[in-house]
Structure 1
Amino acid sequence: MKVRVITAVVALLIFVPLLIIGKLPLLILTLIMGVVAMSEILRMKHIILVSTEALISFVGVIAITLPNSFWHDIPFIKSAHIVFYILAFLMLLNTVLARNHFNFDDAGAMTLAMLYIGTGFHYFFQAASVGLPTVFFGMLIVWITDSGAYMFGRALGKHKLAPKISPNKTWEGSIGGSVVAIVIIPIIFSMFKWLPNYGLLELLVFAIILSIAGQLGDLIESGFKRHYGVKDSGNILPGHGGILDRFDSMLIVMPLMAILGMLG
């Protein structure tokens, strides 16, 4: 527990100031987190980090994470979608050149991982660029849901939520965590008018959707960790695991905030 607390404090001392500063320093941090998260997927699949498929994956995550404006002045490219298509093609081509050491299933997993991680961090940076209240709304929904689920699960948990994927999660914890986040965050943000473009009812609806989505993001990551037979996605954060372990919910919540129209 001591190591876990120390790691959390150090991480927040680095993360929060960069979140406040934003712009290039935050973008660099976001790109680093995306690359590390991709390396965690590669290690789970036992793929060497200097292999052709790994290098394609890293470039793909970086390309998708970068803000849309980055591509506007680059000839023949114009958007990350074109870069992603080229990289997906190269990933498929590698199944031929690798002589069965890298197959179609591997290419599919790597391409999906690029999209999953890159899109999540892309919209995380976009949310921060819109303004601190916006990104903190999503982050606090995730954090409070997670903390509430842990406390309610410990105190009242009896019915398993997804025993084959995450045996410790319960329906009581899940519902309790969501209720706490849905009650607290929209009321506070509405009271202080931190998101003045939205009324309390809209914030409540957003909170319900994002709280549920965050828990689904957690279960998704638990699912592929169980598939690959690992406890944590990585060990870069002592006591917490890897970047995917800490940002699994965010990778789902941030793109969903864009779909809901919260990111402009």
Structure 2
Amino acid sequence: MKLRVITGTLAGGLFVAVMAVGSVPFTLLSAAIAVICYMELAALKKLPLLSPGVLMGAFCVAGIVLGTLLPSEDAFGLLFIKLLAALVLLFVGTTVFSKNRFHFEQAAYLLMSVFYIGFSYHLLVHVRLSSFSLAFFVLVIIWAADSGAYFIGRRWGRHKLAPKISPKKTKEGAVGALFTALIAAVLFQFVLRDPIFPSWWLLLLVTLLIATFGQLGDLGESALKRYYGVKDSGNILPGHGGLLDRFDSLIFVLPILYLIGVIN
């Protein structure tokens, strides 16, 4: 527990500090984290990390995140389509020249990983470049929900939430996540004073969406790890596991916020 708290505090503090700087430093950090998360996904499937297919995907993930620095969304959209199209063709070509040692199912897994990780971290950088307050708000709500689920679940959890996917998660913890997220949102707004959203109702609604879908993203990664028989996605963060273990909620939440128009 102590190691988990210390690691989380130091890593979270460093991440927020670079986020506050923004611009190129935060974009580079986000691209690096995105590539590591992608590599952890590849490792879950036991794909060689230095194989051509995995490396091509890593290059595309970095390109998608760094593309945030392009002067317009139109320019990024064109880059995004070209990168994915090129990756599909390269993957198919690799299946031929590798004589199916790299096969279509692996290519599909990596392509989905590139899109899922790359697009989410692109959105993270995009939000930060548009509004530090909104980006920080999303992080605070996810961290508050995660902490609430963990501590309330440990203290009062009795009923399993998804025992076949994540045996330690409880329904009480899930409710606790929503409760602590709402408290964090109210405190955040009082401290900030300058409203992020035009009304309190919208603030609370977005908070509940972030806390709910954040837990779904966490469960989604747990399901993937259970399917491949892995406890943690990596060991880069002592007491926490891999970067994918720490950012799974954020990776899932950002596209949701984009789809409902919170992120433009």
User: Considering the TM-score relative to the shorter chain, is it more than 0.5?
Assistant: yes
State the aligned residue count. 264
1:83 aligns with 2:83: yes
Q: Aligned residue for 1:45?
A: 45
Q: Distance in 2 between matches of 1:17 and 1:183?
A: 23
Runs of 4+ in 1 over 4 A off after TM superposition: 71-75
Structure 1 residues 132 and 68: CA distance shift in structure 2, 3 A:
closer
Deviations 1:94-149 (A, max 9, x none): 22222121221111111111111111111111121122210111111111111111
Give runs of aligned pairs for residues 249-264 of structure 1, distance below 5 A.
Answer: 249-264=249-264
Q: Aligned residue for 1:167?
A: 167
Q: Displacement of 1:187 after TM fit?
A: 5.7
C-alpha contact (below 8 Å) 2:218/2:248 kept by paired residues: yes
Q: Distance in 2 between matches of 1:44 and 1:5?
A: 26
Q: Displacement of 1:71 after TM fit?
A: 7.5
Q: Aligned residue for 1:17?
A: 17
1:143 aligns with 2:143: yes
Structure 1 residues 217 and 150: CA distance shift in structure 2, 3 A:
same
Q: Distance in 2 between matches of 1:51 and 1:191?
A: 49
Q: Distance in 1 between matches of 2:106 and 2:190?
A: 46
Q: Aligned residue for 2:7?
A: 7
Q: Which moved more, 1:96-105 or 1:223-232?
A: 96-105
Structure 1 residues 71 and 55: CA distance shift in structure 2, 3 A:
farther
Tell me, which stretches of 5 or more residues in structure 1 are unaligned?
A: none
Give runs of aligned pairs for residues 62-141 of structure 1, distance below 5 A.
Answer: 62-68=62-68, 70=70, 78-141=78-141
Q: Displacement of 1:70 after TM fit?
A: 2.2
Q: Distance in 1 between matches of 2:207 and 2:115?
A: 25
C-alpha contact (below 8 Å) 2:22/2:129 kept by paired residues: yes
Q: Aligned residue for 2:177?
A: 177
Q: Aligned residue for 2:242?
A: 242
Q: Which moved more, 1:112-121 or 1:82-91?
A: 82-91
Structure 1 residues 255 and 197: CA distance shift in structure 2, 3 A:
same
Deviations 1:173-198 (A, max 9, x none): 10121122124414641674343442
Residue 8 of structure 1 aligns with an amino acid whose one-letter code is G
Residue 230 of structure 1 aligns with an amino acid whose one-letter code is V
Q: Aligned residue for 1:224?
A: 224
Residue 18 of structure 2 aligns with an amino acid whose one-letter code is L
C-alpha contact (below 8 Å) 1:71/1:78 kept by paired residues: no
Residue 25 of structure 2 aligns with an amino acid whose one-letter code is P
Tell me, which stretches of 5 or more residues in structure 2 are unaligned?
A: none
Deviations 1:69-92 (A, max 9, x none): 5286999x8331221121122112
Identity %: 37
Structure 1 residues 24 and 143: CA distance shift in structure 2, 3 A:
same
Residue 204 of structure 1 aligns with an amino acid whose one-letter code is L
Q: Aligned residue for 1:199?
A: 199
What do you get for the CA RMSD once the two structures are aligned? 2.3
TM-score by length of 1: 0.91
Q: Distance in 2 between matches of 1:8 and 1:172?
A: 23
Indicate the SS of the match to 2:169.
strand
Q: Distance in 2 between matches of 1:185 and 1:74?
A: 33
Q: Distance in 2 between matches of 1:141 and 1:68?
A: 24
Q: Aligned residue for 1:27?
A: 27
